[in-house]
Structure 1
Amino acid sequence: MRTRLTELLGIEFPLVAFSHCRDVVAAVTNAGGFGVLGAVAYSPARLDRELSWIDEQVRGRPYGVDVLLPGRVDAAAADPAARLGEAIPDAHRDFVAHLMRKYDVGRPDIWPPDGGAWAPPTTAAGRAADEAGRRVTAAGAMGLVDVALKHPVRLIASALGPPPPEMVDRARSAGVPVAALVGTVEHARRQVAAGADVVVAQGTEAGGHTGEISTMVLVPQVVDAVAPVPVLAAGGVASGRQMAAAIALGAEGVWCGSVWLTTEEAETPPVVRDKLLAATSLDTVRSRCRTGKPARQLKSAWTEEWDEATESPGPLPMPLQMLLAEPALARVVRAAEAGGEGARDLANYFVGQVVGQMNQVRPAREVVYAIVSEYVEAVARLSRLSG
């Protein structure tokens, strides 16, 4: 399987796997694909440790890193003197506390939990929350990029917004291509103008932050708009037939994320994994309730309460909603694993509409080979039909 993507990255299959789990990244890379580690969850020091581990596992095989760079964030995140926890209104804290009581998540007398946006800003936990919130700014992302470029990465990906000039300059100085995720043709043109070497056209079917245009419609439009820049298709790709469709639309490869959540290597909490395995493609929703930006995720009581309850104050902008939601949802998962039914109702995670195909747990290597095998069969079928 040779495309411009395989030649650019030095990989066997034009299959990119996005994951927040280092084990998935290493497994896909070692199977002939290209693993990309989502870095936003890590401090620079933690990212350095994760990448060092990947280096040992892949032994020179190529992999990449993804950073989150939204075009707009809450003004407090761009102010180094601001304390992000203090920017979260009491009404939003009270609403989360209300949900914890309503769904019986832990003992009321020990809520709110320590850490995250709930911690006093002068404490270590409060300072850590500030640092985590600023990773979605250009300055914060560049700290992660600088760490990544100390390792033999073969791609730096920018999600949500155009890569800043310093990111493109540093990556190119290191001989590392820059990829950018887009949800519209205009976004694609903007990313190429900013210096992107690869464009990932991500349809609304995808998990995580997405736009409103479907992959089938978006990919050929982006291919035509940014030619000759190579385009990857993302959103609704978890099988070889879907991969073949993406290539037929003009893509040079595919970018997959959701399908790895139910692999053996994934760090998906068992309660969330079980909900993913049981879900259909109708069980996802685009909502701002987890990050502050529209992100496709599994429907749950958490999404319903934030989006539909009359007492909901509505989501905050990024990164404040992240700082509010993530500590609460981490506690929800722990309570669900301990047997809490209400907590299980709240638990969710980012996932695309292909969740309806994710009905078994397999090693990541096996998933790679199954996608490639089905792709070959699909191409052979098309060849027969064309005579």
Structure 2
Amino acid sequence: MRTSVCDMLGIEFPIFAFSHCRDVVAAVSKAGGFGVLGVARLTPDELETELRWIEKEVGDRPFGVDAQIPAKLYGDESGAELPREELEAQIPERHRKFINDLLARYGVPELPPQLSDEKLPYTIARDAFSREKEVALLEVALRHPIRLIASALGPPPAHLVDAAHRKGVRIAGLVGAKKHVRKQLDAGVDLIIAQSYEAAGHTGDIGGMVLIPEVVDAAGPVPVLAAGGIASGRQFAAALALGAQGVWCGSVWLTTEEAETHPLVKEKLLRATSSDTVRTLSESGKPCRQLRTAWAEEWEGPDSPGSLPSPLQWLLCADALERIQRAAYSSEGARKLMGYSVGQVVGSLNEVKPVHQVIFDMVDGCLNVAQGFADTLSGNEELDR
């Protein structure tokens, strides 16, 4: 199985794995795919540690990173990024009251005093939607032998593209509509990732059957990866049939043996159906597909003050999400509130598998579909009867 992106990046299978878990990233690359580490919630020092570990694990196998580089910044029309303190000062008091009341109603306790001075994951991640912070992370990444940088939330800055290309690193840009393709191409990306409505995380409102061929046509000779609703060989084959040169998957790795997904979240994922997700503004202020939970329902309810624009909503919610995750084992209310970004394909994630098995099943299933098409179109299927 070879497509143009296999030759471009030196991989055996055109299966790209977005994950915040370094174990998943390494396992995918070692199995012949391409692991991509999400860096948005890391500090530069943490990223340095993660990348060193991945390098040691994968040897000369290729891997990359994914960053959230917002194309639009909140509040300042001049284009300058406002300091976090100024952003937090713009959060209305009624929103702070709503979230405090919400946590109280669901019985979510305050963080233990001994944790107050620690560097907690969500506290660190307050700057996840900062362009300045994301670019600083990518400067760290470029000191390592990565092969790809994926830019979400808009086209990458020109200086980043130039720096990456000087080091032989490819750039991919995520799009949710045909109209976004030209901006990414003008920025100099080498790959386009078409992320459809079904996908987890920040996504648009166009389904994959429509979006993928539209983006393929608009991208011209630039290869396209299909993202959203892909966890099986049949879905892999469908993406290739629509013109994609590979697939970009995220949700399917959340229930693997290697994934560091919170055990209670993993239980929810394994029980969920394809109807148990919702596209909501309630965590980041941008449309984001997540598990349907009490958190999302409360933010959409009649007593909600409404979600704030990004990054204000994220700054408001970061500490609350930390409290919810910490309390989930002891608080039923916290368990009801706790969710995770996941796509509609969650309905088929009902078994825990090792990463290498997921890769094998996707490739084997895809090849079986291709052979079935070949037999049908050539008439061999009728002869076999």
Which letter maps to 2:326? R
The total of aligned residue pairs comes to: 374
User: Which residue, out of 146, 149, 158, partners 2:151?
Assistant: 158
Instruction: Specify the SS of the correspondent of 2:297.
Output: helix
Instruction: Specify the SS of the correspondent of 1:345.
Output: helix
User: Which residue, out of 302, 309, 317, partners 1:325?
Assistant: 317
Instruction: Specify the SS of the correspondent of 2:345.
Output: helix
Instruction: Specify the SS of the correspondent of 2:328.
Output: helix
Deviation at 1:159, TM superposition (A): 0.4
* Equivalent residues in 2 for 1:74-85, closer than 5 Å: 74-75=74-75, 78-80=81-83, 82-85=85-88
TM-score normalised by length of structure 1: 0.92
Instruction: Specify the SS of the correspondent of 1:151.
Output: coil
CA distance in 2, matches of 1:114, 1:190: 48
CA distance in 2, matches of 1:234, 1:83: 35
Which letter maps to 2:15? L
**2:164 match:** 171
Which letter maps to 2:59? R
User: Which residue, out of 251, 276, 289, partners 1:283?
Assistant: 276
**2:362 match:** 371
Q: Is the 8 A contact 1:28 1:368 kept in 2?
A: yes
Deviation at 1:133, TM superposition (A): 4.1
* Equivalent residues in 2 for 1:307-322, closer than 5 Å: 307=300, 309-322=301-314
Q: Is the 8 A contact 1:78 1:134 kept in 2?
A: no
Please tell me whether residue 94 in structure 1 is matched to residue 97 in structure 2.
yes
CA distance in 2, matches of 1:318, 1:83: 14
**2:175 match:** 182
Change (3 A) 1:337 1:125: closer
Change (3 A) 1:358 1:185: same
Deviation at 1:256, TM superposition (A): 0.2
CA distance in 1, matches of 2:190, 2:97: 45
**1:385 match:** 376
Change (3 A) 1:133 1:330: closer
Instruction: Specify the SS of the correspondent of 2:94.
Output: helix
Change (3 A) 1:50 1:125: closer
CA distance in 2, matches of 1:113, 1:207: 34
Instruction: Specify the SS of the correspondent of 2:306.
Output: coil
Moved more, 364-373 or 24-33: 364-373
Residues 295-325 of structure 1: CA distance to partner in whole angstroms, max 9, x if unpaired? Answer: 0000000000001x22211112222222222
Which letter maps to 1:358? L
Which letter maps to 2:335? R
Q: Could you tell me the percent identity over the aligned residues?
A: 53
User: Which residue, out of 327, 334, 338, partners 1:343?
Assistant: 334
Q: Is the 8 A contact 2:232 2:365 kept in 1?
A: yes
CA distance in 2, matches of 1:324, 1:377: 48
Runs (5+) with no aligned partner, structure 2: 379-385
Deviation at 1:124, TM superposition (A): 8.9
Change (3 A) 1:152 1:82: same
User: Which residue, out of 203, 207, 210, partners 2:200?
Assistant: 207
Deviation at 1:81, TM superposition (A): 7.6
Deviation at 1:335, TM superposition (A): 1.7
